[in-house]
A and B are shown apart, each in its own frame.
Chain A
Amino acid sequence: MARNEHITQNIDWLTVLIYAACVTMGLFNVYAAVYNPEEQTKLFDLSNSAGRQLMFIGTGVFLIIAILVIDHKFWEAFAPIIYGFCIFLLLAVLVIGSDINGSKSWIKIGSFSLQPAEFAKLGTALMISKFVTQPNVNLTKFRDLLLTAGIILLPMLLIILSKETGCALVFASFMVVLYREGIPGIYPSILLISITLFILSLFFSPLYISLGLVVLAIIIFRFVLPRYDRNRKTIINLSVIFGAMMLFSASVDFLIKNVLQPHHRKRIEVLIDPKADPMGKGWNVIQSKIAIGSGRLWGKGFLDGTQTKFNFVPEQHTDFIFCTIGEEHGFVGSAAVVLLILGLMCRLIFLAERQRTRFARAYGYCVAGILFFHFLVNIGMTIGLMVVIGIPLPFFSYGGSSMWAFTILLFIFLKLDAQRPFTLSRT
């Protein structure tokens, strides 16, 4: 078709620009994180992480070109097959996966390791987008909800089995797209309330939370509800809801103390008080906060960071890359990164909303949601607001699998967006 001569035609350059900015900043910060003044670390050297990151970015460009060349209908049409392939990989990794850092989630191909869990996000995003936008699917129906939950929970379960709990939690981000596509508001509410209660349970004993909930219920009944609603039926409903909440907060306490594995429990305890274990799990949080805090307003300057080098912050070129940014570029730099990612997410929502196909819109929400979850958890943990969950900061953290997965994820959406003028109507 003549209209498709330029593969970059109609592409959203603002998003591409933000992407390029993130990837470039990420590369330099990975370089800074692994920079060793004694060895004169070279950027163009595959023996160090920065060199490899550069290679991942370079190969990422080929992936982008490939995605832009492939017909946009491919993704919608092949979504179930891609999803199936991801499930297959997740199953395979349980059998042939290599042990890295205690989790069996990597497939080794030659000298490179592939993490199927990163790509499973992509497959699931496509599958969800396709499924929920089918004309006969109604997210208010229980049967369709169950199927949707199945699509999300299957890869999640497999990832948990390969001991990558952090990566599995990312799948909670699909709540964003489900919310936009019409899932009853009760479900996201339950999720938010659960998270809130969970966090509160960490800090307060179930008894106080229950007391607070009773007070809250009385306030709602007496002052919030309209007079005509204050009937027996409402009382029963409120009692059931708040009773469930109390039960939940009590069970969190039990869960943490009896069900969670020790290393998970430690991570949660550390969130409450990092100094409880300053040389163990709390180490990450304390060191990360020291590194970011020592950056002050303007930072110490590129390559002049002292905390983020030399392994003070563990995994600081991967999951804790934000420390390097915070230390070397200060508040100015870290705020810029926060605003950049925030801008990207909002831009994606904006683009998603202007799509003419429901699939493209849903997929856009998927991408924004996944980015949001990573943003929320990754930056949150480095500044001591979130539990330490080992997930990367998109486009910044070192790692081939995550770099490629996020690039593909983003550019599929940009490809869909570029086809928008040629799509006639919403289906």
Chain B
Amino acid sequence: MSENRKFFVYGLFVLVGIIYLIRLLYLQVLDNTYETASNSIRAIPDVPMRGQVYDRYGNLIVYNTLVYDLYVTPNKLKVADTLALCNALSITRADFDSLMKAAKVYSRKKPSLFLRQLSKEDFAHIQDVLVDYPGFEYVKSSVRTYSAPTLAHALGYVSEISQKQLDAQEYPYYRQGDLMGQSGLEKFYEEYLRGQRGVRYVMQDVNGVAKGPWKGGELDTIAQAGQNLYTSIDLEIQQYVDSLMQGKAGAVVAIEPSSGEVLAITSAPSYDPALFATRDFSKNYAKLALNPYRPLLNRAVMGSYRPGSTFKTVQALVAMQEGAISPGSIFSHAGAPMKCHGHGGLSGVHSAIQWSCNPYFYHVFRRMIYANTEKNTFKASAMGLRKWHDYTEKFGFGQKLGIDLPSEALGKLPNVEFYDKWYGVNGWKFSNIYSLSIGEGELLITPLKLANLAATIANRGWYIAPHLVKGIGKNDNPLPEFKQRHETGVDRRYFEPVVDGMEMAVVRGTVSRGAIIPDIVMCGKTGTSQNKKGKDHSIFIAFAPKDNPKIAIAVFVENAGFGGFAAAPVASLVIEKYIKRHVDRKAYEQEWMNKNFLQNVIIPKSQLPKPKEQKPAPTKPEATIVNREKAAFNKLTEAP
């Protein structure tokens, strides 16, 4: 009777077997959800060294320093003598405890950052000691290092990518925690500098501990080192410019006219770029951001100023090309609403430039605007301005020149539409816009654009967009747009009276006598940019030598007064230094290095330190603030 029971037993076995086979078929073949839930392979990015930056003579400006990040895995840690370890790491017992606590909170099994960016020396010091303390491990990393505390604005800085940037990237290259160029060259040439990140696929255990390559490294990609940047910066001149701009706010841009290569570019006040390459990045950034002199602003490419009298060169060139005036045209002061500085008799464009005669250029611009047959003055003004705009725009005004730095300001070159909007169509005429004639009014330029103007005049009619990088990696050429010649459309012959005028301005004109460079013929034009508040900005553009110019420069010194006074000496010293490689006028050099115009700088009320921070100084509160800021600023710039 129980003989038949064996069939039930067989049946039970086979039934369970079939159920399990069906279940396996479902899990392994039919259901896809488990295929994708793979969690044991991790892609580890292999971050290459960032490209280095060199100056035009091959001197290193930016390079990478190997640093060591120390990690600790709390579970593996065995510390026999905590005090000895603290001494070796040169931290206090309290530091150690708090760091360990933070590490334990993160994970007991995974390594967490213990000490960041230990220098090679520090690391060498503790490396031997660490052998006795299992649980510590180090990861090699690198920080940007600068051979000189200069060029902060142009170089820019590198920092961890922000969430916003992560979300915004078109091609998902970056990951959380990646470093990225955030401004300056670091940002503009980011794709060249960063190189190509490699990826290693490693298998990891449940605690995230790596356990060797996956598939023997078949799918891994090798990291490619970042490409070096060979800039046109002359590091010596750059630092010389920095020293001249001490105690001043403003900007200096020097360009080699024939190539458009930037020789020096300074925005003052500046800061040490190394401040942004340390673990104290955010602290330092916050400190600089709060500084009322706005050291973070790159005035050279972002600062918007009125060009003042420097713009008279453009007015003369455009009017001559249009035929509104001739090189020998003479105008009386009569009828002009602005005054003149007082000078001898004029004999044409060159002497008007030499003495920067305001009424003369009022008449030049008037001729230019009305150089048509239209009887209606409103319509004639519009026609004239349109033509004028077409000419001027070719000098690069009112647009980006396309320098290889991010966030270049557009500036402003008013056109017909601009005034139509303001006054209404046919609601304005020359008398509304005449301040343009002397570079005031609605014009806005950047120091870079004026340096480019100086280069354009030096070239007698054309320019190459200014750029800092003349070679990338193994390629000796700059980006293709920096080989292209931009023509202004103004005849070469019209430049001669302007150049002559600029030469005479230095020898015996608006420029202070001290600015004359022995043995070098410098052609310059002063400019005084008016302000609603405070003293005028002092502007000077120049190039030298007169024939076959080697350097064109624009100097801005904020709130320093008349153009020939402050900006011209700086420009003349830089030119002398660049061409002769030394400066003969030692006393003059010393004088201008020590000049301080910062106290004139008007700080916007919102930028002022809060009243409770002020020391009680009821009699002269303003001066106190300025002095306090001056002290703060000096402290800032004397950093190594």
Seen from chain A, the residues whose Cβ lies within 8 Å of a Cβ on chain B are 36-38, 176, 179-182, 289-290, 292-297, 304, 306-307, 309-312, 326, 330-331, 334-335, 338-339, 342, 345-346, 349, 353, 365, 368, 372, 375-376, 379-380, 383-385
Contacts and interface: CB of A to CB of B under 8 A. Distances in A.
B205 A310 contact: yes
B295 to A, nearest CB: 50
B34 A290 contact: yes
Contact of B203 (A297, A306, A349, A368): A306
Contacts of B14: 342, 346
B28 A331 contact: yes
Interface string B5-37: 110111011101101110111011101011101
B2 A339 contact: no
Contact of A379 (B9, B13, B20, B33): B20
A294 B215 CA distance: 16
Contact of A290 (B17, B29, B37, B212): B37
Contacts of B1: 182
B203 A296 contact: no
A310 B40 contact: yes
B39 A383 contact: no
Given A180-B6, A181-B2, A349-B6, A294 B34 contact: yes
Contacts, number: 123
A57 to B, nearest CB: 25
Contacts of B214: 306
Contact of B20 (A180, A297, A345, A383): A383
Interface string B528-560: 000000000000000000000000000000000
13 contacts: A37-B212, A289-B27, A293-B35, A294-B35, A306-B40, A306-B203, A312-B205, A339-B21, A346-B10, A353-B6, A372-B13, A375-B16, A380-B20
Contact of A38 (B8, B24, B25, B212): B212
B78 interface: no
B215 to A, nearest CB: 8
A37 B209 CA distance: 13
B16 A372 contact: yes
B38 interface: yes
Q: Say what secondary structure dominates the interface of chain A.
A: helix
Contacts of A346: 10, 13-14
Contacts of A176: 9
B20 A310 contact: no
A325 B107 CA distance: 32
Interface residues of B, number: 41
B16 to A, nearest CB: 6
Nearest to A293: B34
Given A36-B211, A37-B203, A293-B27, A312 B6 contact: no
Nearest to B204: A310
Contact of B10 (A311, A331, A349, A383): A349
Nearest to B213: A37
A385 B28 contact: no
B206 interface: yes
B100 interface: no
Given A293-B34, A335-B21, 11 more contacts: A292-B28, A293-B27, A294-B37, A307-B38, A307-B39, A310-B203, A311-B206, A312-B206, A335-B25, A349-B13, A385-B20
A386 to B, nearest CB: 10
Contacts of B204: 310
B13 A295 contact: no
Given A383-B27, A385-B23, A342 B13 contact: yes
Contacts of A295: 28
B36 to A, nearest CB: 9
Contacts of A365: 9
B23 A326 contact: no
A338 B24 contact: yes
B521 interface: no
B587 to A, nearest CB: 71
Nearest to A36: B211
A264 to B, nearest CB: 23
Contact of B21 (A292, A312, A338, A384): A338
Contacts of B35: 293-294, 296
B41 interface: yes
A309 B205 contact: yes
Contact of B29 (A297, A306, A312, A339): A297
A260 B290 CA distance: 64
A312 B24 contact: no
Contact of A294 (B13, B38, B212): B38
B211 A180 contact: no
A293 B14 CA distance: 23
A297 B39 contact: no
A179 B9 contact: yes
Given A307-B38, A349-B13, A293 B33 contact: yes
A163 to B, nearest CB: 25
Report which residue of B8, B14, B206, B214 has the largest number of chain A beta carbons within 10 angstroms of its beta carbon.
B206
Contacts of A179: 2, 5, 8-9
A307 B37 CA distance: 10
Interface string B70-93: 000000000000000000000000
Q: Can you list the 4 inter-chain pairs with the closest CB atoms, starting with the nearest?
A: A293-B34, A310-B205, A37-B212, A331-B28
A331 B13 contact: no
Contact of A309 (B16, B20, B40): B40
Contacts of A37: 203, 211-213
Report which residue of B6, B13, B14 has the largest number of chain A beta carbons within 10 angstroms of its beta carbon.
B13
